[in-house]
Amino acid sequence: MINLELTQKLINDFNNNGFLILDKFLDTEYLDQLRSRFEPLFKGVFETGVEPDEWNWKFEKDPNDVTRQICNAWKADNLIRNFVCHEIVGKFCSQLMSWKGARLIQDNILWKPPGGKTLGYHQDAAYDDWIIPQTMVTCWMSLDNTSKSSGTLEFVKGSHLWELQPPKGEFHSPTDYKEQLNIFAEKNKKKIDIVYVEVPAGGVSFHHGYTWHGSGVNTTQEHRRAIVAHCVPADAKFHPTNEGGTAKIYKKYKQKNSDLLDEKFFPLLWKDKTN
């Protein structure tokens, strides 16, 4: 299902840049099956009978020119679960971040149609201040060929070494999707060096939770779809008091008298068994 050997050079590239971009990751024989899952999900057809946690676009109800997103589709679709909860995803996220293990905190399925609008620049970890430690890494798996013109994901090289800024500005479809990035960079005298994730279908990118990223308008006539796994350390816990970020959605899964992340809702993907 997934093919990749993670070398020390690739780990070093990730540590230097704040991201890693590779042309080959998903077995191409699964791409059509994965793409076929998108339309039913956005129509509210859930294989398992369980509705995802977040669902920001629905057929015949919302504009066609916005980027469509579902969060935690793994609960609704078993094939998507097999990929976003794959052991290799957890292992590589752990090795890139020097963790002893990784668990899924959230997934996304993303669908940017022709004309699909922007996604504002942000840092993923900024939304997870309800977790200790406040860190994460993201595995972004592309189901279509991507390019700058298709509104692909774009990273600011080295920005994982910048401080974490609380979320600001519009997230979905802002007119100026680089506004918050430019404000932060100017205020903190940072250089902006943008790299675009241009990969064939089946390619992948990993990025640090502090890395600034966003995406532009899809100016092509092609659809741009991706499945995404956001991972945190295996031993991450709920923050005992903080109710910020996306806590209002996910703190409903907190067990009474415990700060542990429940395996039923935050699956453990991989753990180092050598120590």
Indicate the pLDDT class of residue 61, thresholds 50, 70 and 90. confident
Residue 62 burial (CB count, 10 A): 12
In this structure, is residue 3 part of a structural domain?
A: no
Flag whether 216 is in a domain. yes
pTM for this one?
A: 0.96
Residue 260 in domain: no
Within-domain flag for 259: no
Residue 177 domain boundaries: 8-251
Instruction: Share the mean pLDDT of the chain.
Output: 95
| Structure token pair of residue 105 | 């905190």
Q: Into how many domains does the chain fold?
A: 1
Tell me the average pLDDT across 71-91. 97
Which of 215, 214, 197 has its CA nearest to residue 151?
Answer: 215
**Tokens standing for 206?**
């990993």
Task: Say what the pLDDT of residue 275 is.
Answer: 62
- CA distances in angstroms from 83 to 172, 229, 235, 236, listed in the order given: 25, 9, 22, 22
- Within a domain: 91: yes
Asked if residue 263 is part of any domain, the answer here is no
Q: Are 204 and 86 in contact (CB under 8 A)?
A: no
How would residue 128 be classed by pLDDT, with cut points 50, 70 and 90?
very high
Residue 270: inside a domain, yes or no?
A: no
pLDDT of residue 65: 86
CB 36 within 8 A of CB 229: no
CATH of the domain at 19: 2.60.120.620
The CA-based angle 155-160-162, given to 5 degrees, is 115
Name every residue whose Cβ is closer than 8 Å to that of residue 134 and which is 6 or more positions away in sequence.
Answer: 125, 128, 164, 239
- Distance, in Å, from the CA atom of 127 to the CA atom of 149, rounded to the nearest integer, reads 28
Interacting residues of 126 by C-beta distance below 8 A, sequence separation 6+: 164, 165, 166, 167, 245
Convert the pLDDT of each residue in 161-179 to its tens digit. Answer: 999 999 888 888 899 999 9
> Does residue 170 sit within a domain?
yes
Question: In this predicted model, what pLDDT tens digit does every residue of 200-249 receive, in sequence order?
Answer: 999 999 999 999 999 999 999 999 999 999 999 999 999 988 877 778 88
Write the burial class of residue 154 (CB in 10 Å: 0-12 exposed, 13-18 middle, 19+ buried).
Answer: buried
